């Protein structure tokens, strides 16, 4: 469980609005999803320190590709996400540390990361600034400037900052744990 929390670093930094949540979720699905798909091939051909070096290079390369694609198609959004895209290598390396049979859980983890990015980004934007889709023009162009939804006139700015994001993330994880059926041990 502690390793999973390290994978949430880019999520905490980037997902302070719904549009940024969409951006980091998309880049996470691209980079970490491709890493999960390429990991069995890497395990077959490398062992020991060569495996770790190859995993590190593959994670860095995939994060760079995701960053370049983001910059090519959504330049303003990528400028806002730029420091956090490189941290997507952390979940990749955590997946590389798992055993071979746990790699199948990687795709579920990527989808959970994307869902958490969307939920956290939307909640932080609504509670922290009182709006939704404030930066939609980063994704959809200048026509989307008028798409801003003003949800409340009295936002709690704590939630726009990192401590508020941690509070919301803790509440989301507690809700997930509460709604999830009890975990059975694998035999």
Task: Report whether pLDDT(186) > 60.
Answer: no
For residue 149, give the H/E element and its range. strand 149-150
CA angle (120, 18, 83) in 5-degree steps: 85
Q: CB count, 10 Å around CB of 139? A: 18
pLDDT tens sequence across 116-142: 899 999 999 999 999 999 989 999 988
Q: What is the pTM of this model?
A: 0.86
Alpha-carbon gap, residue 38 to 92, rounded angstroms: 11
Task: Point out which residues pair with 150 in neighbouring strands.
Answer: 131
């Amino acid at each position: 469980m502690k390793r999973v929390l390290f994978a949430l670093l880019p999520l905490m930094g980037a997902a302070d609005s719904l549009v940024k949540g969409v951006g980091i979720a998309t880049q996470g699905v691209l980079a970490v999803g491709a890493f999960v798909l390429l990991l069995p091939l890497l395990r077959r051909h490398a062992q020991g320190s060569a495996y770790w070096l190859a995993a590190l290079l593959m994670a860095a390369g995939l994060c760079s590709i995701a960053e370049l694609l983001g910059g090519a198609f959504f330049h303003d959004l990528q400028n806002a996400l730029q420091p956090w895209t490189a941290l997507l290598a952390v979940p990749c390396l955590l997946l590389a540390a798992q055993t071979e049979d746990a790699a199948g859980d990687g795709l579920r983890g990527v989808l959970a990361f994307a869902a958490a990015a969307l939920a956290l980004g939307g909640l932080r934007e609504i509670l922290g600034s009182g709006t939704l889709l404030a930066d939609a023009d980063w994704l959809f162009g200048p026509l989307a400037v008028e798409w801003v939804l003003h949800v409340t006139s009295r936002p709690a700015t704590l939630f726009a900052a990192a401590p508020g994001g941690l509070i919301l993330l803790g509440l989301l994880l507690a809700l997930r744990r509460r709604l999830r059926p009890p975990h059975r041990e694998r035999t």
